Structures are given as C-alpha cells and as structure tokens.
Chain A
Amino acid sequence: MKKSNKQDKRQAENLLPWLIPIALIIVWQVAVDAKWIDATYVPSPLAVLEQGVTLWQAGTLQQNMGISLYRATMGLLIGGAVGFVLGVANGLSRISHALFNSTIQMVRNIPHLALIPLIIIWFGIGEPAKVTLVAIGVMFPIYINTLHGIQSIDPKLIEMGQSYRLTKWQMFTKVIFPGAMPTILMGLRYALGVMWTTLIVSETISASSGIGYMETNAQQFLDMPTIFLAIIIYAILGKVSDWIAALLESILLDWQASKGGR
C-alpha cells in the first residue's frame, strides 16, 4: 500500500489544530518541572490530571459534571425553545415583531451578573434559579439568529412557493424553516458557548454542586490543581458541544452545495 502525496498532506492538515494545545501542555509541564514557574500557583498538567483521577475515584467529579450538564441542558432546552418560538413569531408576523422586538433587544443587553440578585429573590437559590439564568443567556442568540434567518430568506423562493399554491404550513416546513436553518444552527452553536459561560456564573449562587462550585470551593483552599481541572473541563465541554453543533450543521445542511467540499 503506497500512500499518495496528497493523502499524506491531508493527514498532516488534520493534525494541525492539535499542534498548539499539545505544544502548550508540553511547555507548561517542562516549565513547572524546571521550576521556571511556581508550582503552588501553577500546578503541572500531570498534577491536574492526578487530581482529576482522585476526584473521579471519590465520585465527586462525575457527580459535579452530571449536575452541571443537567443544569446546562435544561437551560438550553427551555431558553432555546422560548428563543426559537419568539424568533419564528417575530419573523413571520409583522405585528408580533413590532410588539416584542424592541423590548427583547433591550433586555438582551442586560449583563447576566446584574440579574443575579433578582433571580435569587424570585427563584431562590435552588436549581430553578440556575436553570433560569442559563435559559436567559441561551434565549437571545437563538432568538436573534432565528429571526434573522427567517427575515433574510430570498423573497423569490417565497414567491415561487406561492405560485405552487403551498399552504401556510407547507410554506413554513418546505421553504422558510429549511431556508433559515443555516442561521439557526449558527445561533445554536453560539448559544452552546453562552450556555457554559452563564452556567459558571449561576453556579456561584450558593451552589453546593457542579463544576463551577468545585472551582470556587477549591479557591477557598488554594487548591490549584482542582481550579485548573475545572477550567480544563469547561474547555473540553465547550469543545465537545461545539463539535456536536458542527456535526449537526454538516448533517442537516447536506443539501447546501457550498458545504459539500467539507
């Protein structure tokens, strides 16, 4: 079996994204081992990994990850659904748009941190408060992208649908929704990022579980390996959810000729 030059080149390109993360980790390990940086403030990657294994064996790591995942997912489902419905309504109906859009845009720009006191008073300090905060964060990117996707559909396509005498429902499922899909998926991809950032904020509200709690708890005891571990877990979770969104894009947008080359 002789590989062609082209294949070799492609494999090399596939490895390229990993180059910087791996190099960073090696430099980091070496720098700590050689005592260029103080291990009390920056533990080595191996120490972080060891801490991960210890916490996994104690059962706390998977428990906290599961709880974080639950809060994030519930927030995404609720916020995503609300954002999507509002986006569709405002995209299709001129009256609904006039009524709601400027209010939503106003609320959108409130920093999440500013909402924490309100959320504690309204929803207490339990799970609903955390899920609500994530839902609020996730809602806006989905809303904006759904709205934008629907608004920017080629009017010629709609005209064509009308000449085929499509019913309103057919028009939505055959023309508008598929047309808006690329933008909606982009919104989802962005929302997944927002989901994790909002989650860590929400997990500082008197939480006693979750990755965010694990990190703030470790801060109290200057437990640097756990702090780094939590940060790395967030990075990995973020990467995986982005990967899921990219896969969804690639599968659902199969019909788009421009994506064919990927």
Chain B
Amino acid sequence: MKKRWQKVILVVLLFFWAGGTYYGYQQTTGSRDKLQKVTIGYQKGDPVDVSRSRGVLVKKMKELGYRVVFKEFADGASEMQALAAGSINYARTGDTPPVTAAASGTDIAYIAAGASRSSGSGILVQKDSDIDSVKALQGKKVAYTQSTSSQFLLLQALSKAGMSASDIEWVNMKQADAAIAFSKGDVDAWVTWDPYTAQGQVTQQAKLLTNGDGLSQNRDFILSTQQYAKKHEAVNEYLVKYLSEDMTWANEHPKALTKLLTKALGMKQTIVAKMVDRRDWTLTPMTKAIAKEEQTIADVFYENDLIKQRINVSDDVIYVSE
C-alpha cells in the first residue's frame, strides 16, 4: 500500500518536473524561424530597455526580417567585452566604455548618440554625511566602476575642485556591490548613474553632492564593431530609426513610460518617476560635435595615465544617414 503511494507521488513529481522543464525550454528559445538574429546589449532603464519593454522595435524589425534579441548587462565595461567576443552585435553604454575599449585595441564603431544625462549621474553621499563639497572628499573612500562613465565623472569633479586623482581613495566595484557597500557605509561616497542615483536618493535619502552638469554629459551611445557595422549598414539605419522613434514616444508619454519602466525594472514608481523626470530621451546618428566630446574623455584618460595610447575617436565613428 505504501509502495503504491510512493509511486503515485513520484510520478506526479516527475510529471511536474517535466512540465516545468518544457515550459522553461519554450521560454528560452522563443520561436524558431529563419529571421536574421541581431543581439543588442543593454543596461537597466536605458533607451534600449525602453524599446525592449515597449516592444515596437522588435515587431518592426521582424517585419524587415530580423529577430532582435536583448541581453542585459550590469555595466558598459562588460558589454564591451561581449561586443569584442562577438556575443552581441550592438551595445548601449555610457560615454566612457568605448574610449577605454578602443584604447585597449578593441574594434569599436559609434553608431548613434543620445541626449545628455548629466542630471541623473553624480556623486552620492549618505544622508547624515558631513561631506558637503567635492573638496571634502579629500582622503575619503569613493566607490566607482572602472571603465565606466563614473570614472570620468569623478575625474572631472576632482579636477574642477582643483584636486588631483590621488587625493581620494578610489574603490573599484560593480554597481551592485557598490549599492550595498554604500548603504552599509563601507564607502563614503558613490559615483553612479540613473536609476541607481534615483534609487539611492529615494530609498536611502542619500544626498547628491554634485550631478554631472558641467562635468560630464554622460550621453548614451549605441556601439557596434567596425567589422559588423560595415557589413550591416541597413541594420544600423533601421535600429537608429526605430530607437529614435521609441525615444520620441518616451518624451511625449512620461506617464506611460514611468509605468512601463516601473514594471521592467521592478522598482518603486517614485524612483522611476525621478529618473524619467530629469532626463531627455533622444537618439540620433553621431555628429562631429559629439565625437569631439568623446575625444575630450579620451584625452583626459590619456593624461591621467588611465589608457596607454592616444586614440582618435573620429576614426571609429560611423555616420548613419537618417
């Protein structure tokens, strides 16, 4: 009698196991079709994340014969590695990753640029911290992520305050670890970008010591490799076109966008609203002026000995026709 029950339980459990596995299999693969696959790397709450959540881009690209797949990354530095390895075809990063990647010999192509995100990027300190200016960071521990926009912003802030890079203690960590280190007070300040900035401000009432105004535009960039982008000019054009359409939608519908991102990010609505309120959404082909901004970053990094060779950004730019 007992054996029979055991068999019944076992069969039921194995049945659920097989069912769950099959369900999971369907979730991972999606439809198997003859469409050409285009993989885009993105980060939480960025323009690509907006397009992904909205779903219009995927549909339009499908009509043109492309299957767009999105891969999420924690920061731009990891995206550049994936881009170099060929795991992704396009990447959306901040302004610094392409510079450091190009300096280390990675094949980079700038495809498109976004609006300035200077008001959502900045240096956070704890709510009861006595640090009230960038100068007061002297000798303090500041968390940042190497080869991301946070590194450039911090460098610029220090130089604007008349300090040198060695005046503070640089603590290089991933943003996820920095969030925890900051909340526990293991570091005195944290250089970050939205949505992390908004997250810190809302949930921990952290103070924004300075935002990126006048320091770093921290634009969004859509990047690819020369090798891929030159062979897929049509994809470049379609992507820029549809991403920029999605950005126009985002600018015109802040309420719907907040709702969409709240769901996509799994964050509190107040945090997302803060982030959405203080930034513009645009995405345009590269311009000479924006390439020049990137050149400034490259030069600052070279002068600070953070990259080993001088690079010429304009060599890497691909001007997509609108």
Stretch at the interface among A68-76, A139-147, A154-162, A164-172: A68-76
Task: Please name all residues of chain A whose beta carbon is closer than 8 Å to the beta carbon of B70 when the two chains form the complex.
Answer: 208
Inter-chain contact A251/B21, CB cutoff 8 Å: no
Most buried by B among A71, A244, A247: A247
Inter-chain contact A69/B21, CB cutoff 8 Å: yes
Q: Which residue of B lies closest to A226 (CB)?
A: B266
Number of interface residues, chain B, beta carbon within 8 A: 39
Inter-chain contact A121/B85, CB cutoff 8 Å: yes
In whole angstroms, what is the CA distance A65 to B24 when docked?
Answer: 7
- Asked if A240 CB lies within 8 Å of chain B CBs, one says yes
Inter-chain contact B175/A220, CB cutoff 8 Å: yes
Q: Which residue of A lies closest to B73 (CB)?
A: A206
In whole angstroms, what is the CA distance A10 to B286 when docked?
Answer: 76
- Contact (A250, B6) CB under 8 Å given A219-B176, A220-B175, A240-B13: yes
- Contact (A70, B24) CB under 8 Å given A220-B74, A247-B10: yes
- Asked if A127 CB lies within 8 Å of chain B CBs, one says yes
- Contact (A222, B71) CB under 8 Å given A127-B28, A243-B13, A247-B10: no
From 18 to 61 in chain B, residues with beta carbon under 8 angstroms from any chain A beta carbon are 20-28, 44
Our pick among B7, B17, B28, B263 for the contact of A251 (Cβ within 8 Å) is B7
Chain A residues touching B, majority SS: helix
In whole angstroms, what is the CA distance A189 to B24 when docked?
Answer: 23
Inter-chain contact A66/B24, CB cutoff 8 Å: yes
- Asked if A151 CB lies within 8 Å of chain B CBs, one says no
Task: Please name all residues of chain B whose beta carbon is closer than 8 Å to the beta carbon of A67 when the two chains form the complex.
Answer: 24, 27-28
Inter-chain contact A206/B176, CB cutoff 8 Å: no
Interface residues of A (CB under 8 A from B): 58, 60, 62-63, 65-71, 73-74, 120-121, 124-127, 206, 208-209, 216-223, 226, 240, 243-244, 247-248, 250-251, 254
Q: Which 5 A-B pairs have the closest CB atoms?
A: A70-B24, A66-B24, A220-B176, A66-B23, A69-B20
A-B contact pairs, 30 of them (CB 8 A): A62-B23, A65-B24, A66-B21, A67-B24, A68-B24, A69-B21, A70-B20, A70-B21, A70-B23, A71-B28, A74-B21, A120-B85, A125-B71, A206-B82, A206-B87, A208-B72, A209-B27, A218-B266, A219-B180, A220-B74, A220-B179, A221-B179, A221-B267, A222-B179, A222-B203, A223-B266, A244-B14, A244-B17, A251-B3, A254-B3
Given contacts A120-B85, A244-B10, 13 further A-B contacts (CB under 8 A): A66-B20, A69-B24, A124-B85, A125-B82, A206-B71, A206-B73, A206-B87, A218-B266, A220-B196, A222-B199, A222-B203, A244-B14, A251-B3
